[in-house]
């Protein structure tokens, strides 16, 4: 298993390792590792969505701010 710095965990790596452990584990341990893998994938998906939406939200804020500023000039 490759070790990454503790301050920058990689959710994809965590998910892959958890899936490998789930395949090797017996009984309820496998279910726990599978849940960890699913949570890690969910975190990664949420981070991707936020990363994609951030520029859009900045643009909307900029447009809204410009419209609001023009309204105060009148």
Paired tokens of 12? 């994809």
Judge whether 12 and 44 are in contact, CB under 8 Å.
yes
Which phi and psi (to 5°) does residue 64 adopt? -65, -40
Which phi and psi (to 5°) does residue 42 adopt? -65, -40
For the chain of 74 residues, list the mean pLDDT of each consecutive stretch of 10. 56 78 82 84 87 91 79 56
- Long-range contacts of 5-9, Cβ-Cβ distance < 8 Å, separation of 24 or more: none
pTM of the model: 0.56
pLDDT, residue 2, reads: 52
**Distance (Å, rounded) from C-alpha 31 to C-alpha 10?**
21
């Amino acid at each position: 298993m490759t070790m990454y710095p503790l301050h920058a965990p990689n959710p994809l790596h965590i998910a892959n390792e958890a899936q490998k452990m789930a395949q090797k584990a017996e009984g309820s341990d496998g279910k726990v590792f599978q849940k960890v893998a699913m949570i890690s994938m969910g975190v990664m998906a949420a981070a991707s969505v936020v990363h994609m939406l951030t520029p859009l939200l900045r643009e909307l804020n900029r447009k809204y701010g410009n419209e609001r500023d023009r309204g105060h000039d009148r």
